[in-house]
Structure 1
C-alpha cells in the first residue's frame, strides 16, 4: 500500500488551489511516475554538450559551428555529442539537421540529445503558445537528428504570482506536448535548473504529477545549490534518462568548489543508470585545455 505523507497531502492541496485559480488547468493524476527499472549493471557512455564551447559557437562572429564541434568530439574519441538548440540557425532546415546527423555518424558519434530553453510557467496567451510551439518544433528536429531526448526546463514563477500556479502551468504544459513527443519517439527530460526545480522536493512535485512514458529527468550535477547537493542528486537519479556532468558544485549557493567526480559516477552506478553522461563544461579555465583533461578523467571513472 502506498503511504500518504504530510508533504503529499500538502502538495495535493496546493495543486488543487492552483488548479482552481487557473480554471482550465487539469489536476495531476494521483498515479506517480515510477523510477526507471534497470536490471543490467550500469553502462555509461560519454558525450559532450555544445554549451561547453558556447563562447566559440555564439556571438556576432562565431569561430566554430556544430560540424566543427562534432569534429572536436571525434578527436577526443567520445561516444556522442549534444548539439544545444541555441547554436543552430533560427531557420534551421531539415537538410542541415540531416547533414549534421550524417557528419556525426561518419565520425563514430551518436547524437545523445539536444536541449532547449523553454519556460512552461508563463501565463496563458501568445507567449505561452510560443513556448509550446518551440517545444514541438524541437521534438520534430530531434526526431530528424535521431536524438532520443530533449533537455527541457519547467520555468520560473512569474513576478507577482505564486509558485503553486507556476507549477500547475508547468504540469499542464508538459501534458500538452508529451503526446506529440511520444508520436515522434522523443523523451522530454526535465532538468533541475533553478526556478520551480531548484530543489529535490520541487523536482519530486513535478515527477509525481507527470506520469508519461516519454517523460523523465535530465540530471544536472551542478544545479542543486543546496546544503546536500550529492544527496539531492542521489534522490533524483532513479528517474534520469540523461545526465549532464559539471565539474563544479555550489553548496547553499556559495562559492563554487570542484565536483567530486568519483562520487557523482558512483551515484549513477548505485541506481544502475545506463545511458549518456554528458560533460557540460562551465568553469573559468579555457575549455580547449580543460575539456580534454576532464574527458580523460571521466573516461577513467566510467571504465
Structure 2
C-alpha cells in the first residue's frame, strides 16, 4: 500500500520509506544516520569488493604545466598498483572541444596495456544558470562528453549542479533548473550506457539533503552520487557521508575534510567503515590536493588508504 503512494521513488529511497513507514515515521532523508541500514533485509551486508582508483586531479599541476603527459601519469599510477584511473575531461587536448577518436582510443589502449581500468571521467558544467540558452549550452556540453565517456570506456561521467546560491536567488527555482537539466542528461546517458555521478562540491550543493532532493526529483537509475568527502563545509561531514553512501556510484577520498567548517585530517578508518557498512562495491578513487609533488603525495596517501582498508577487513 505504501509503495503505491510513491511509485516513482528510486529503489534506495523506496527501501528507506518502507522502514520509516513501518515505524510510523515520515520519509525524511536526514533520518538516515548510518549507511548500510537502508535495506529491509535483516541480514548484515557483506563487505563489497573495493578497487582503488586515482582521480587524476591529483596531478593537476604537472598535467596542466606540461611537466607530465597523460601517458606518463597513467604509467606512474600503474606502477603504484592502482586498479584504475579517473581522468577528468579537461586533461584531454582542446577541452571543451572533443578530442579526436584516434587519441581517445590510443589512451584507452595504453591504459588497458598497463592493466588500468577507467573508473570514470568528469566534466565542468553549471546547471544553475538562469538564461535558457546558456543552460542549454551546458546541457549540450554534458551530452557531448557522455558520448566521449562511452567511447573511452568510462562507466560514469562526474557532473556538478553549479555555482553557489547568490543573494536574491530562490533555491527552489534553481533546484528545479538543475534537476530538469540533469533529467535530460541522464536520459541521454542511458542511451549510451553512461551513468551521471552528481558531485557535492560546496557550491549550490552544500549538504547531503541537497543531493538527495535532486536525486529524488530526477528519479533515474542513471543518476547517482560522486561522493566527495572533502566538500561538506557545514556540520559533521561523517554523518552526511554516511547519509549519501548508499547512493554513491563513485567517490573522491581526500586527505582532509571539514568538521564544522574547520579543515582537519581525514579519519580514514571511519571513512572506510562507512564505505564497508554501506555495502559499496566498486572503485574508490583517491585525490590529493594542495602543495607538494604528487609523485610523493599520491604514494603516501595511497598507502594510508590501503592500511585503512586492511584494518576494516
TM-score range normalised by the length of the shorter chain: 0.7 to 0.9
Matches within 5 A, 1:151-162: 151-156=158-163, 157=165, 160-162=168-170
The match for 2:93 among 81, 89, 92 is 89
1:49 aligns with 2:26: no
* 1:155 positional shift: 1.1
Deviation string 1:204-235 (CA, Å, 9 cap, x unpaired) is 21122121121111111111112210000000
Equivalence map 1:115-264=2 (5 Å): 115-156=122-163, 157=165, 160-254=168-262, 256-264=263-271
- The root-mean-square deviation of aligned C-alpha atoms, in Å, is 2.0
Give the SS at the match of 1:48. strand
Q: In the alignment, is the contact (CA less than 8 A) between 2:227 and 2:245 conserved in 1?
A: yes
User: Structure 1 stretches of 5 or more lacking a match?
Assistant: 4-28
Q: What is the number of residues matched between the two proteins?
A: 275
The answer on whether the counterparts of 2:118 and 2:154 sit within 8 Å (CA) in structure 1 is yes
Task: Name the CA distance, whole Å, in 1 between partners of 2:115 and 2:124.
Answer: 28
Structure 1 distance, partners of 2:271, 2:2, is 30
Alpha-carbon distance in structure 1 between the residues aligned to 2:93 and 2:134: 21
Q: Give the aligned partner of residue 8 of structure 2.
A: 31
Q: Give the alignment's TM-score, normalised by structure 1.
A: 0.86
Q: Secondary structure at the match of 1:194?
A: coil
- Tell whether the 8 Å contact from 1:81 to 1:110 is kept in structure 2 after alignment: yes
1:20 aligned partner: none
Could you tell me which runs of 5 or more consecutive residues in structure 2 were left unpaired when the two chains were aligned: 14-38
2:52–2:83 CA contact under 8 A, matched in 1: yes
Q: Name the structure 2 match of 1:68.
A: 72
- The separation in 1 between residues aligned to 2:121 and 2:69, in whole angstroms, is 15
Looking at structure 1, the residues matched to 102 and 205 of structure 2 have their Cα atoms a distance apart, in angstroms, of 35
